[in-house]
Amino acid sequence: MNSKQLACILLLVGMLVAYQIGQSLRNRAAATAMQADQADAEEVGQRTQLDAERSVLVDLQRQSKDLIEFTTLWEPFFAIIEEQQAAETGISMKVREANMLNISQRYEQLAHTINNKPNPSLPTMVRATLAFDDSYFKLLNWLGMMERIKPTMRVGRVALSKGSRGDDIRMDVVLEVPLKK
């Protein structure tokens, strides 16, 4: 191979290298553009997901508005729920203050379920089983007063029957106070 031929080959190689470098730069630009296009597509997908999430949130807020407003009124009353000891003391004090003939009182703590499902927000409750024998007016007024001053307490059972003396009646009542823990 003579020098002229070698020079030609070198020129050809130079052209090829120039072409390859040009192609490489073009490919790199194309790859970056493709990545940018993919990112654009991903952005569209993410925005669609965001719109869906926001729509679900708005629907949920609309559906739960009344429920949350309703329970917001009750929250402060549930916030002061006592522990078992305090709940028992609160009821027994009211029994003593009423100056009624109290035949028996029993307190127990038990799990709270609704429709066979546990209630995680109010998992337990104190159940007070009380029996009185006194006048109708005193007993019913006391029961009404308890329901008024403890609006979150519920009467689980009330039974009236003839009492041991004259016009007196016997009242068996079960009071249930929800506990937070």
- Interaction residues for other proteins, span 95-154 (CB under 8 A): 112-116, 119-122, 136, 140, 143-144, 147-149, 151-154
**Region near other proteins per CB under 8 A, out of 9-17, 86-94, 96-104, 127-135:** 9-17
C-alpha span between 28 and 20 (Å, rounded)? 12
By CB under 8 A, the count of residues binding other proteins is: 77
Residue nearer to other proteins on the CB measure, 17 or 99:
17
Choose, by CB under 8 A, the member of 96, 106, 157, 165 that binds other proteins.
Answer: 157
Q: Which helix (H) or strand (E) holds 122?
A: none
Residue nearer to other proteins on the CB measure, 99 or 149:
149
Strands 113-114 and 124-134, sheet pairing: unpaired
Residue 130: count other Cβ atoms within 10 Å of its Cβ: 20
Whole-number minimum distance, CB 121 to other proteins, in Å?
A: 4
**Region near other proteins per CB under 8 A, out of 64-72, 82-90, 93-101, 127-135:** 64-72
C-alpha span between 163 and 165 (Å, rounded)? 6
Cβ-proximal residues to 135 (8 Å cutoff; 6+ apart), any chain = 167, 168, 169
Contact flag: residue 83 with other proteins (CB under 8 A): no
Whole-number minimum distance, CB 85 to other proteins, in Å?
A: 19
Q: Which helix (H) or strand (E) holds 87?
A: helix 84-98
Whole-number minimum distance, CB 61 to other proteins, in Å?
A: 7
- Contact at 8 Å (CB) between 172 and 76? no
